[in-house]
Structure 1
């Protein structure tokens, strides 16, 4: 793993949790934990909650909008992915770095995270967990 990493790690941007009772999950995270509602994305069955500098995204897998995240076996995984926030990176350098490390980009896109919209690359860790790497939003 030689070479210079083209980014700095800044922390966890968001975690995506799969829930089968959105009302109960929402009440728990808002009333017990103290999160606030950041954004609703009903087309994905998702509710984004602010947890300090990070987000906790809840995906309701009991309905069709959240079916995209439903685990293949009932009672299976309940964490879809973890998003790690990085410093600014140059897209070509990041692609080259990941390729040189033998890490495939399995998905990519501009997504809304705790710091706003930015380009994200999704990769798998050695255990098969999905990790999203996202830089800060582009300056406007």
Structure 2
């Protein structure tokens, strides 16, 4: 987050970061992540570097927010 506070033990200087992944089925990745104890939010349509698209936020073991966005294949 531009102008964010410097990182400290219980704080972060970014809101989140995004990883673009190979195409996946939403229900399958949710099941996999949750069965492995990974905290998730629900899929939603969000705006990012490549425009609007569906993505999912997870929380890593250090408390960072990671956005997972599947690659879109043009049909």
Would the TM-score normalized by the shorter structure come out above 0.5? yes
Which of the residues 9, 33, 37 maps onto 1:98?
33
TM-score, normalization by structure 1: 0.43
Deviation at 1:138, TM superposition (A): 6.0
Shift of residue 107, structure 1, vs aligned partner: 4.8
Q: TM-score, normalised by structure 2?
A: 0.73
| Greater helix fraction, Structure 1 or Structure 2 | 1
- From 56, 61, 64, give the equivalent of 1:121: 56
**Structure 2 unaligned regions, length at least 5:** 6-10
Q: 1:83 to 1:112 in 2, by over 3 A?
A: same
Q: Larger relative contact order (C-alpha < 8 A, sep ≥ 6)?
A: 2
Which stretches of structure 1, 4 residues or longer, exceed 4 Å deviation after superposition?
A: none
Aligned length: 70
